[in-house]
Structures are given as structure tokens and as C-alpha cells.
Amino acid sequence: MASFTSKPPKIEIKYTQIFINNDWHKATNGKTFPVINPSTGEEICQVEEGTKNDIDKAVEAARKAFHINSPWRTLEPSARGKIMRKFADLLRRDIEYLAQLETLNNGKPVTNSKMDIMGAAACIDYYAGWADKFTGETLPTTSDMFLYTRHEPIGICGQIIPWNYPILMLATKLGPALACGNVVILKPSEETPLTALYCAALIKEAGFPPGVVNIVPGDGPNCGNAIVLHEHINKISFTGSVEVGKKVQEGAAKSNLKRVTLELGGKSPLIICEDADVNFAVYVAHEAIFHNAAQNCIAASRTFVHSKIYDEFIAKSVALAKKRIVGDPFDPATQQGPQINKSQFKRILNYIESGKKAGAKLECGGEKANDKGYFIKPTVFSNVKDDMEIAREEIFGPVMSVFKFDSYDEVIERANATNFGLVAGVLTKDLTRALKFVQELQAGSVWVNTYAAMKAQAPFGGFKQSGQGREFGKYGLEPYYEVKTVAIKLLSKM
């Protein structure tokens, strides 16, 4: 049964300042901001609030660290990989503490925090391996020329990450940036700065030279915006909403044309065909939407079910949703913690109302799960129509929307009828059907008979307005180096 402990466990908060040049700094404007525990709605602590002046400081430190003769620039590539691997080892070393801190600040169950940390360490390890392996080319040309490309680090990379996977997002951004030899200014989400700051201490312990990684907590408008507009930041990578992503791209264009990669939201379809094993489908669909309290850019928020298995699917999904244990994320029995904050909480409940008003059938859930904190019951709507708000807009909350279909050609069109295009899943045993879906679904990742199959070596990113550029895999390196072509003419006889 769900438990909602009113008192969170005692977890020591070690780092609440701004991390620049391997040092801890107070905010230049002298302000701090509160960090909330979403399980209780209560304040955990205050954290120094970074704004433009702090970003400027970080840029200065990063610049020095990127100087061509700096320790970082003169490191042997395999040595760079080694320091990264050391950071990964430290993440694993401190996994117990870090997992608790992540759960305290984000609300995800502790087991999920641990999984995230292991995944983060594996991602860093993966990219550590690339440090001495990403190559330029020598190119064929006339005999009096030597023609080749160099893949050089871009320089100062601004990285703005969201609150749904604080540690994992940090690793996903740092990995490729550091592998390519860049220097970084990372702004964690204002909701969840605590684990990023602890990781900063680990980064220092791992042996990264000062200024290579700087972490500046702060909000979007004053801190994130300062990064976006900065004349001396060479690249920005942003994960968050489409709305803010567009602003990031605009800001980059208006300032210095810094390179931009965006990983934005989704309204990802999971298509369950008539030959799918229903129990398997129910289980996959359940995890696909409800994992991480549905605070997931890849959440399968449109579940298309073939009419032949529709009723059975609904009944079983409702039963599974009702069994899902929502409660104190420190309780090992808990499967789902709170939503991140009051604003999201309200927003999700509004969508539920909207769904009801539009005529979808509320099968279960649809309300808060507790008076304290931001817990919402796993909710299932059946008979959802494509034009409803809950069918078109990203909710980022535990609301499963189930649609009926009977034509495969049509369901592909319906699945694609969105500006999003992050991921898609399809459950079927038929080979041709699966491969056709793969060909025709407009999504950066298509998963067959599985969901959320994220791997460090597989590129991930959006079609259409779900973003641009890829993270993970070898492709994940591409936004982090600049290609220089060199031509040397052999001037005279020897």
C-alpha cells in the first residue's frame, strides 16, 4: 500500500554554491533560491542563484581552461578518457548518497535514482572510450597536395538541462562534450540543482583542470538566457520544452550564431497491433507512460490499440494502473513518486479536467493521491479522440490516453499527425508490418516489441519539433566538434 511519510530522511546537503574554476562561489547578486522536496512541498535548502554576472565569470574561467596551451588542451586523448572514467567510477562509488539526494530533490523512487546513476556512469564510460577514437580523414587529391580534416573541439559549450533526470541529463551532456575536448558551463534546472553540485565536487576530485566544467545553478530567464545570448559561448545544448527550445534557437541567432542542439518534448505513440500478446502489451504500455511519474520526454502518451484487443487491453491496463504504488519515494515498495512541483501538479490536473470535458472516458485515477506533496494517481482515459487536448499536447503527467484503431495505414498517419517526433513504439509479431512501421513512423527512435530502449551507443533525438541533433552514440559527438579542412601544397622539389 502507498505510504506518504511526512518526514524525509536526514540527508546532508554539502554543496549549495556556484561551481566555477573548481572553486565554490557565492552569487554575485547575493541572492539564493529555495529548493523544494516534491514529496512534501517543503524547502530542502537554499542555493546560490546564478545570474548573468556569474555566467560571465564562468565564461572567463572556461576560456582560460580552453587556451591552446592549457593543461586540458595539451592532455593526451587517452588521458582525457581516463579522467572521464574516473568521474564515472566516483559516481558509482557514491551511488548510495547520490541516489538519496536525487530522490530527495526530484521525488523519483530510490531504485530509479540508482538506475539513473548507473546509466549516467555507463554513459560517461562510453564517451571516455571515444576520446582517442574520433577521427578526421585524409582525402584523395592531386599529387602535389596533402589534404586532410581535423575534428577540433568547438570551445565553450553551454548546457541547460531539465529536472526529470538530473544526473542522467548531466552525464548525457558532459560525456560527448568532454570526449571532444571542450569546456562546459552547465546550468542545472532550478528545480533540481543539488545532485549537479555534488557531481561538480566529484568532477574536481576526478582531476579535471579548473574551468573545464563549471556548474551555475539559476533560473531560465536570468541565468539560462545569459548563456543563450552570450557572445563568447560557442555552442548551446538545451533539453526542455519546445516553447523554450525555440527561444534558445532565437537567442543563439540574435547573439553570435552559436551552434544549437535541442532535445525537446514529445507526444510519442505506442501502437499495439492485433497480434500482440495482450499481457505483454499492457505491461509495456504501463511502463511506457507511467515511468518516472510520466515526466519523460519519451513518455508513450498516445496508446493506439487495435479494436480486436481494445476491450481486453483497457480492462487489464486499468487493473494494472490501480495496483501501481504511489507514495514516499524512499519506501522501497513505491513505484511512483510525486510530480516535480506545484505548477506541474496543477497543470496535469487541468489536463485531466480537459479530458473529461472533451468526452474521454475516465477509467481510473484522475485526482491527487495525497494532500501533501504533488502526488497524482495513475490515470487512464479510454475512447480518446485525436483532436482532444489530451491527445495533442504534452502533459508530462501520469495520464494514459488510449485510442482505438483498425487500419494500419490509418494509424500510421494518425501517429504522425503531430509536430512532435521524438520516439514511437510498435508491438507486433509480423515482420513486414514491423519494418513498415519502422520505415514510415516519423520519429528519431522507433522501438519494436520494446519501449524506452535507450542505449549509450544508439543515437537519440527528435524529428520535427521534438528537436534537432542527436545525443548518444557516435552521432552524439558530432555537435561537439568543429571540422577544419587543411590543404598543404608541396611547393617545390625536395
Partner 1 sequence: EIKYTQLFINNEWHKAAKGKTFPVINPSTGEEICQVEEGTREDVDKAVEAARKAFDIESPWRKLEPAARANLIRKFADLLRRDIDYLSKLETLNNGKPVGDSKGDILGSAACIDYYAGWVDKIAGETLPGAHDQFIYTRHEPIGVCGQIIPWNYPIMMMAWKFGPALACGNVIILKPAEQTPLTALYCAALLKEAGFPPGVVNVIPGDGPECGNAIASHEHIDKVAFTGSVEIGKKIQEAAAKSNLKRVTLELGGKSPLIICEDADIDYAVSVAHRAIFTNAAQNCTAGSRTFVHAKIYDQFIAKSIELAKNRVVGDPFDSNTEQGPQINESQFKKILDYVEAGKKDGAKLECGGERHGNKGYFIKPTIFSGVKDDMRIAREEIFGPIMSVLKFDSYDEVIKRANSTSFGLGAGVITKDLTRGLTFAQRLEAGSVWVNDYDAIINQAPFGGFKQSGHGRELGKYGLESYYEVKTVVVKLI
Indicate which residues carry an active-site annotation: 263
Closest CA to 427 of 411, 406, 450, 405: 450
- Exposure class string for 80-101: b at 16+ Cβ within 10 A, else e: bbbbbbbbbebbeebbeebbbb
Residues in a beta bridge with 263: 239, 467
Residue from 8, 71, 77, 136 touching partner 1 (CB under 8 A): that is 77
Q: 125 or 263, CB closer to partner 1?
A: 125
Closest CA to 380 of 400, 398, 361: 400
Q: How far is the CB of 207 from partner 1 (least distance, A)?
A: 16
Closest CA to 63 of 118, 20, 7: 20
- Span from 120-128, 242-250, 258-266, 364-372 in contact with partner 1 (CB under 8 A): 120-128
Q: Answer whether 262's CB lies under 8 Å from 375's CB.
A: no
Q: 253 or 453, CB closer to partner 1?
A: 453
* CA angle (275 as vertex; 273, 277 as ends), nearest 5: 100
Residues in a beta bridge with 205: none
Query: How far is residue 54 from each of residues 85, 223, 340, 348, measured CA to CA in Å?
Result: 29, 8, 26, 34
- Side chain identity, residue 287: E
81 forms part of the interface with partner 1 (CB under 8 A): yes
Q: How far is the CB of 134 from partner 1 (least distance, A)?
A: 10
440 forms part of the interface with partner 1 (CB under 8 A): no
Bridge-based pairing state of the strands 445-448 and 235-239: unpaired
Q: 346 or 474, CB closer to partner 1?
A: 474
Q: What are phi and psi of 281, to 5 degrees?
A: -60, -40
- Side chain identity, residue 85: R
143 forms part of the interface with partner 1 (CB under 8 A): yes
**Residue 301, all three cell numbers:** 502518451
Total residues contacting partner 1 by CB under 8 A comes to 29
Q: 84 or 167, CB closer to partner 1?
A: 84
Q: Which of residues 352-411 bind partner 1 (CB under 8 A)?
A: none
Q: How far is the CB of 93 from partner 1 (least distance, A)?
A: 15
- x-or-dash pattern for partner 1, window 210-249, by CB under 8 A? ----------------------------------------
Q: How far is the CB of 59 from partner 1 (least distance, A)?
A: 31
Bridge-based pairing state of the strands 379-382 and 361-364: antiparallel
Q: 139 or 253, CB closer to partner 1?
A: 139
- Side chain identity, residue 161: I
Q: How far is the CB of 467 from partner 1 (least distance, A)?
A: 22
| Helix, strand, or coil (residue 272) | strand
Q: How far apart are CA 260 and CA 257, in angstroms?
A: 8
Q: How far is the CB of 87 from partner 1 (least distance, A)?
A: 15
Q: Which of residues 123-142 bind partner 1 (CB under 8 A)?
A: 125-126, 128-133, 135
Q: 117 or 282, CB closer to partner 1?
A: 117
- x-or-dash pattern for partner 1, window 450-489, by CB under 8 A? ------xx----------------x-------------x-
The residue ranges that bind partner 1 (CB under 8 A) are: 77-78, 81, 122, 125-126, 128-133, 135, 143, 146, 431-432, 435-436, 438-439, 456-457, 474, 488, 490-492, 494
